[in-house]
Chains A and B, each alone.
Chain A
Amino acid sequence: GDSVTQMEGPVTLSEEAFLTINCTYTATGYPSLFWYVQYPGEGLQLLLKATKADDKGSNKGFEATYRKETTSFHLEKGSVQVSDSAVYFCALPHGGATNKLIFGTGTLLAVQP
């Protein structure tokens, strides 16, 4: 069945470091792919998405490219800030016309000043 695999955390970086969080997926066809972010004490919110192969989603300095050859959707940011400290979830929709989401386990990012 469909699934999402994320790199385990926590990931601890210094401010201005480069960030990569790996995400690979297994799915039938070419589903949309999402990154959601959960800041401390809050619910999830959409960070970025890509709806077809080779699409690049971007937001707040984060980017992810939908690569069908490697079934991956890795999240990157060139220079992280303390305010980026959060849990990041990769997700894909499953279930026809109901948009049920399958989530990865989440990756905790801690950015130190």
Chain B
Amino acid sequence: NAGVTQTPKFRILKIGQSMTLQCTQDMNHNYMYWYRQDPGMGLKLIYYSVGAGITDKGEVPNGYNVSRSTTEDFPLRLELAAPSQTSVYFCASSTTGGSRDEQFFGPGTRLTVL
């Protein structure tokens, strides 16, 4: 049971490039989330999904896209990278959307846009 895995761990992009951050969970969780963590700030929700085929915007969705074709995978797409997207990105999952449920986090992807 690997939990939540993310790839890559580190990436440097040039302005205007595109990339996909991968996230996979093997716990059969319906709910998945993408957060970004900026220095000195808490985590901000980018997008979330309540099940395969269903996604919705979080607090800071601009510049990102997501898809959820399977229960296991929830990739995050950056189409035109900008320096403001330099951050650490965390994927998380939970069993249900219940407010008492723990979220399980991946190890993160550190992205730098130059």
- The A-B contact count (CB < 8 A) is 67
Q: Which residue in B4, B48, B56, B101 is a CB contact (below 8 Å) of A43?
A: B4
User: What count of chain B residues pass the 8 Å CB interface test?
Assistant: 29
Q: Which residue in A36, A44, A99, A106 is a CB contact (below 8 Å) of B97?
A: A99
Q: In whole angstroms, what is the CA distance A102 to B60 when docked?
A: 13
Residues of chain A within 8 A of B99, CB atoms compared: 31-32, 93, 99
Q: Are B43 and A43 in contact (CB under 8 A)?
A: no
Interface residue tally on A, bucketed by range: 20 to 34
Q: In whole angstroms, what is the CA distance A99 to B90 when docked?
A: 16
Q: Which residue in A42, A99, A103, A105 is a CB contact (below 8 Å) of B107?
A: A42
Q: Which residue in A43, A49, A100, A102 is a CB contact (below 8 Å) of B108?
A: A43
Closest-by-CB residue of A relative to B106 is A43
Residues of chain B within 8 A of A96, CB atoms compared: 97
Q: Are A44 and B105 in contact (CB under 8 A)?
A: yes
Name A's B-contacting residues (CB within 8 A).
4, 31-32, 34, 36, 41-46, 49, 51, 89, 91, 93, 96-106
Residues of chain B within 8 A of A103, CB atoms compared: 42-44
Q: In whole angstroms, what is the CA distance A32 to B99 when docked?
A: 6
Nearest CB of chain A from residue B25's CB, rounded to whole Å: 12
Q: In whole angstroms, what is the CA distance A101 to B102 when docked?
A: 10
Listed from nearest, the 6 A-B pairs whose CB atoms lie closest are: A103-B42, A43-B105, A93-B99, A97-B97, A44-B105, A98-B97
Residue of B42, B56, B104, B106 contacting most chain A CB atoms (<10 Å): B42
Q: Are B103 and A105 in contact (CB under 8 A)?
A: no
Q: Are B48 and A98 in contact (CB under 8 A)?
A: yes
Q: Are B40 and A99 in contact (CB under 8 A)?
A: no
The reply to whether the CB of B94 lies closer than 8 angstroms to some CB of chain A is yes
Q: Are B43 and A101 in contact (CB under 8 A)?
A: yes
